[in-house]
Structures are given as structure tokens and as C-alpha cells.
Structure 1
Amino acid sequence: MSVGFVAMHYPHADHHDAFVARVRRDTPGCLSAECWVTAAGDAVVSIARWESEAAQAASMQALGSADVDVAYDEREVRPREITALVSA
């Protein structure tokens, strides 16, 4: 069963480009990752998919060890909204 997520990031305007770059970062085991922005430009949307929960966990672990922050911080206007997905 494939797993994935859709994450809405709400960066301050001066951090928008950095968020887009972070979302586009390739991680091991990730089957696909897309970066979108809302038409209003107020949110960066990431959509990612892995072949399994184990592959997703390994990717998240790799991000953590690569000094890529995955937690909400002061660069964002409000906390991220993350929706976990499983294949139907």
C-alpha cells in the first residue's frame, strides 16, 4: 500500500522562496514529490508519495539527519496543515 501526504506550509513572504526550495528537496525512497503554491501565493503545498510506511519513515529520518527542519517555526505565519494519505 502506497502512503503519502499533502502539507500546507504558510511561510512569511520573505521566506517563501526558501520554503519552495525545501519542499522540492529529493529524499531517498520517495516515489514522487510535487510542489505547488496557492493562486494567492499565501501557501506552499507539498504532495509526496512513498511505496510504504517504512519507506516514508526512512525518508523522514534522512531529512532529519540532513539538517532539514520539518517542524513549524518562526518563519511561518501559522502551523502547517498535514494530511496523511493511503492508496485506495
Structure 2
Amino acid sequence: MTVGFVGIHYPHPTHFDDFIARVNQAVEVLRTTPGCLSAACWVTADDDAVVSTAQFASDEALMASFAAAGEAGVDFAYDERERLPRQVLTLRPR
């Protein structure tokens, strides 16, 4: 069963462009992992949030893809660069 992933990130304005670069780095690595069907970086129309989306072939593919990205040095840290807690959603088809 396919699995969707959405991460909503609220970087401080001074870190906004850096955060987009971080998410795009993650997207590029995730796209190369087995079982990743798609991955993208979005910005809300009001430039308030950076949204990462991905779709995976299975829960196992999602977990393996994020593990591979971490091993590749992708920065997933939540820290003072974000002004609000990020929201992470895992989605299932109906």
C-alpha cells in the first residue's frame, strides 16, 4: 500500500531560503531511494511555510528512504531555525 508524507515547516524569515535548500537536498536524496515514488518541496503562497511532500511504495520504503537520507547527511534537525513546531503527517489512501 502506498504511503504519503507531508512535512510543514515554519522557518524564521532569516532562515527561509536556507530551509528551502535543506528541504530540496532531502528531496533530491529521497528521490534516489528504492520505493520513493515522488518527492517535492513547496512554499505556501504567503511565504509562511515550506512544505515537503513525498509518496512511497510502502511504510518500509518510507522508513528506509529517510534512514538513507540521514546517512547521506541530510539535515532533519528541528532547532531554533524554525519559529513554530513542524507538522508531520503520514497519509494513507482510501
Question: What's the TM-score, normalizing by structure 2?
Answer: 0.83
Runs of 4+ residues deviating >4 angstroms: none
Give the structure with the higher percent helix. 2
In structure 1, C-alpha distance between the alignment counterparts of 2:15 and 2:78, rounded to whole Å: 13
Quote the offset at 1:87 in angstroms. 2.1
Aligned to 2:76: 70
RMSD over equivalenced CA pairs, Å: 1.3
In structure 2, C-alpha distance between the alignment counterparts of 1:76 and 1:57, rounded to whole Å: 24
Aligned to 1:46: 52
Query: Structure 2 unaligned runs (5+)?
Result: none
Higher mean Cα deviation, 11-20 or 42-51?
11-20
In structure 2, C-alpha distance between the alignment counterparts of 1:81 and 1:69, rounded to whole Å: 16
Aligned to 1:57: 63
In structure 2, C-alpha distance between the alignment counterparts of 1:38 and 1:77, rounded to whole Å: 16
Query: Structure 1 unaligned runs (5+)?
Result: none
5 Å-filtered alignment, 1:4-23, equals 4-23=4-23
Question: What's the TM-score, normalizing by structure 1?
Answer: 0.88
